[in-house]
Structures are given as C-alpha cells and as structure tokens.
A and B are shown apart, each in its own frame.
Chain A
C-alpha cells in the first residue's frame, strides 16, 4: 500500500534523474555562455547600437531571467521535482522582491540627483571638478536626471 507507493516514488525519482543527459547539459552550457557573451556585448556596445537605457535594462533583465530559469529548472532539477520546491523558491523570491521593491520606492527620494551626490548629504560638498565629466562617460545618457 503505502510501502508500494513509496517504492514507486523512489524508482520514479530515480528515473527523473536520468532526464538530463550529458548532451543536454552541454547544450545548456553553450546557451548560457552565448547569453552571457551577448549581455556583455550589449553593454559594451550600447552606444554604437544606439539602445536606450530603458530597453537595455529590460533586455538584460530578461536575459538574466532566462539564465535563472535554465539553471533553476534544469540544473537544479526544479522542472522535475515535487511542486512544493518550486513554490518555496518562487514564494521566497516573490515576497523578497515585493518587500524590497516597496522599500526602494519608500526610501528613494524623488527630487535629488543621486549621481551628483545630492541625496542624504549633510553639507554641500565643494564643487568638485570631476563630477561634471566622469572618466568613462556613458554616451547613451542624454538626460542628466535619474530615470
């Protein structure tokens, strides 16, 4: 009865581990490498391809999400495991993201330029010559204000 079910669960679990073959893992490895290279390339050449910052953020976040799902789903076997495990991960991530998104919104002040060091300072810094022209300028930045 329950013994048999347990045994069935065992052997079923054993089969599941064979879901990934070496070939599959290698293919995933290549894909992960390609995605990472692509991310680096987008960042490096963001000026010459003329991508807006918003689009770049969305693209990079999406690519990261793809890598995340690949590693969690297949390398960490979540795809094939008991649903409670996926719920644990997604639940944790959901609550964490929600909490810290809320915190970020509450804490982030609206009217100061963080890059100029205007936020949460006690006294005016002496006007420093290097704040106007940082060494590695970001040509995609047309507007000086934070998004």
Chain B
C-alpha cells in the first residue's frame, strides 16, 4: 500500500530524520510538541504568580521576580504556545484540507520551525542567566531603555521577538502561497474548508503586521546598543511611538491568535452536529472583515495616553464596528448546532465552550471600546479578565479541542474520551473560577501587575479564589498530559474517519502517508468528503474503489540539513548583541559569523537538489 517514493533513500526514523525533515506533517508535530512544552513553563510562571497573590502582603516572590514572571508568562503564552500550536495545525492540515501534496516551500517550512525553536530557546535562556525581562509582554518604552534596564533582560525579549517574528513571517508567506496556489483542481476559494479561510486571513495579518514590530524592535535594540534616541525624549525621540508601533502590530496579533481557533471551532461544530457550517459564505466574509478592520483599531489600547477626543472617538467607533462580524460568527456557530444530532465528544465540548467563553470575553471587550469606561478599566484586573476569557476561554479551549479532534488523524489512535471529559471539566471549571472573579477585582480597583496588595483593600477573598482556580486548571493540564501519553500507547485504533468528518483529511489513512494523496482529488463541493460519502438526501453512497496510481510518479522533496543551519546562523546574529560585555570584537565577530553562516547555508540551500 505504501508507495516507493523517490526519497526512499533517506531514513525515516531517528533524530537526524527529524532534524532534516521537510515534511509538513512532521514539522507540524515538532511545532505542537514545542508549543506544549513552552506552555508548561509559562503555566508554571502563572502558578507562581497566583501563589504569590493568594494572600495579601505575601513575600514568596520578590517584586522584580514577579515582574519577570508576568512578562514571561504573557510573552511565552502568546508567542511560544498559542502561535506555534496554531502553526502546528496550519502545518499539518492545510495541505491535507486543500488536497495538496505539500506546502509551496517545504525547506522554508522547516526553516520557520527551527528559527521559532531557537527564538524560544533564546527567550527562555534568560531564566538560566537570571536576567529575565521584567517589562511586560508589551515592553513599553522608555522603561526598556538602557538607563532603566541596564542588564540584558530586555535584549532577551527584543531578540526573542525579532527571531520569532521572522519565523512567523516566513511561514506566513509559505502558507499564503500554498493556499492560493496549490488547491486541488475544482476547489475554488469558496469551496475551501473554513479553517483554511481563517488560516489564510491569519497569514495576511502576519505578513502585514510583523514588519511593524520588526522596525520597532530594531529601533529599541539600536537605542539600547548604539544610543540612538528613538524612544528617549531627551534626545528628541517620542516615547509613545513605541506604543503606537507595538499596537499597530499588537492588535492584528490578537486576531492572529483567535482566527485559527475560530476556524477549528467551525470545523469541529459542523462535524459534531452532523450539519454543514451555518452561513459559510458569511463566515468567510466576517473573517476577512475582522482581518481588515483589525488594522484600524490599534489605538484602543491607548485610550488613556491622551491622543485627544477625535482619535479616541474614531478608534472607539472602529472597535465597536469590529464586534459586528465577530457577533455574526457567534450566531452562526449557534445556528450550526441548532437542530443537529450533536455528538458531545470532548472536542465538541471544547468547541462549544469556546462559543460561550469567547462571548463573555467579547462582552467585556465591547465595554472597553468606550473610552470613558475604558479609563476606569485600564490597568485594572477587569482587562486581565477580558483577555484571559478571549485568549484562554477562547483560543486555548479551541486549540485543545483541535488536539482532541485531530489526534486520531495524526497518531492513528483515539484519545481517551472519559479522561478527556474529566480533563475538559477541570479546565472549564478551573478557568472560570480563576478568571471570573477578576472582573470583580477589577471593578473593586485592583490594579494590574502588582506583586502584592494590602490586606484592607477588600481583595483577599477573590484573589484566594482565583488561585484555587489556577491550581484546578493545572490539575487539568496534568490530566491532559496523562491522557495524551496514554492514548499514544494505548488509545483505540482510529481508522480513517472516526468522526464521520466532512473534509478531505478524513479520506486519508491515519496517519497519512508521507505523500498525502495517492491521487489528488478533484473537488466539486464544499465539504467534499461529506458529499462523496452521502448523497443529497443523506443516504450513504457506495464509494468507488481507490483509483490506481503509479507510485513512481510521486516525488517527495528531499530532506535538508540547511534550514537548521541557517536558523542557527540567525540565532548567532542576535546573540552578538548580548556580548559587548565580553568585548566589542567578540560581539561583532559573533554577529558577523552568524551572517556568514546565513549566507553560506543560503547558497548551499539554493544549489542543492530540492
């Protein structure tokens, strides 16, 4: 059954095969594993924070350490957990969903992963040298300038973000090209699965927003390394420029975080309800509208800086406007469920909880969109509640749902449903117990980013409750790990199509063969796989036998060593900026060597057989 493909000369097992892989499925797995490991670190950060805040006047953790935890928790969860886990799904499933044999640029795909991994390791190595960035995940100037943060902690943040941004940009160009150029014959844009659409919009946001943070980070690293004055008012610079540039990137970034999750939810709900997604076309347009409007609302993070009434009013209006396509999606999901023969699998539970939790988060969000109200909310725990509802109750729940949904396809085994449901409820209850009281704390005036609080503020009870919830959530995470590993070894064999799915990946074996499709399907419908299985009146069709194909016609791209080498060169370039303490020669030498490695491996890459 397996084809003798032309890369058969290369070993498929062992570390080397993983280091040199250019197979999008393996790269997806690498992303997922890395993301989950980074999640554990960021989760421990959170547990430490919550432990410190459980009681007033607590002294388990110092203020400086607490600030470092806040920064690393936020930065890691966003850039090292949600984004790479979403990338794992893009990587694994985009070619399968569009009927393609691979992504447009397989080696570039591998490069993105290695750059990401090195960036994440760089950021986390700040722990090892005790110089953890403590400036918040948004690193506002001018706290980040050398005079206020003389150690290398901020450099870890800046270079971590730069390198991670590069990884995402390269991947975005790759997936954008793949989706628009490599769909199976007959798959017009409006026959693509909805997850592919949200992936596409996400890539557009990445492509356009990342350059802005790149420039901002270059400016910051120049201010720190070369004494330019971009953010130093004493030198004529403009402190708020950082906030503007950061949020011009930062707001599309939050849509980058949520859109893939929305796509996953759409897929799961349609499959679980055994009905097509309600209002597919409207969902597509809403996703595009959200992406486009996402560029017009950035200053709603800056209502309190004093931009003036006109700016505040215009951004407020745009923010309220963006709630419309989002609300449309919520109604469409509910309508998808309505009247369906719903199977409440663990994945379905996660997807349904997304709809509810994201709505909660959206409600607090729409409250923020009014500048006078936001002036009360800003920098209080009300905002913390809001974004955790949309990011955790929203994106993370959806991603975990995606894991339960697609685990059978990736591994060939089902995850344990009983354990899964227990774990889901632990997450659900734990998450709500942790974050719902934060609304109250915010209203009661508890500010953000404080490492302790006085006992007479009236915040004691809710803080204790929040901490209890955090531990419950951690228990859920632990249970997830158990389920994950148990299922890998002992899970029920899944077969091709355990959920009676609607999209093309379920037509393939679990796990799919390296070349994906023996024969590229010709697509005639949205939800093509469903239409092949069922006729219009819901009756099961007789499927024709798999068509014959000649295995020797399939050429797989060769594995390559150069992506990891090139990624390492990029890491070296960034590392040079940390080394002036050891002498300028060493610092410059490191960066230059890194650049030469990039150049050399680039040439080797260009001339090797793809």
Contact = CB atoms under 8 A, between A and B. Distances in A.
A95 B208 contact: yes
Interface residues of A, number: 15
B564 interface: no
B241 A92 contact: no
Contact of A122 (B234, B248, B308): B234
B244 interface: yes
A143 interface: no
B208 A103 contact: no
A106 interface: yes
Interface string A89-125: 0001001101100110011000000000100111000
Interface in B241-261: 241, 244, 248
A2 B244 CA distance: 49
Contacts of B180: 84
Given A95-B295, A120-B233, A122-B234, A107 B208 contact: no
A83 B240 CA distance: 39
A121 B292 CA distance: 36
Contacts of B236: 117, 120-121
A92 B236 CA distance: 31
Given A99-B295, A120-B233, A121-B236, A106 B311 contact: yes
Given A120-B233, A122-B233, A106 B238 contact: no
Given A84-B180, A99-B248, A120-B233, A107 B185 contact: no
Interface string A118-141: 001110000000000000000000
Interface in B275-311: 292, 295-296, 299, 307-308, 311
Given A92-B208, A120-B238, A107 B244 contact: yes
A103 B244 contact: yes
A106 B299 contact: yes
B234 A106 contact: no
A107 B238 contact: yes
Nearest to A106: B311
Nearest to A121: B236
B244 A106 contact: yes
Interface of A: 2, 84, 92, 95-96, 98-99, 102-103, 106-107, 117, 120-122
29 contacts: A2-B185, A84-B180, A92-B208, A95-B208, A95-B295, A96-B208, A98-B295, A99-B248, A99-B295, A102-B296, A103-B244, A103-B248, A106-B299, A106-B307, A106-B308, A106-B311, A107-B238, A107-B240, A107-B241, A107-B244, A117-B236, A120-B233, A120-B236, A120-B237, A120-B238, A121-B233, A121-B236, A122-B233, A122-B234
Given A2-B185, A103-B248, 11 more contacts: A84-B180, A95-B295, A96-B208, A98-B295, A98-B296, A102-B296, A103-B244, A106-B299, A107-B240, A107-B241, A120-B233
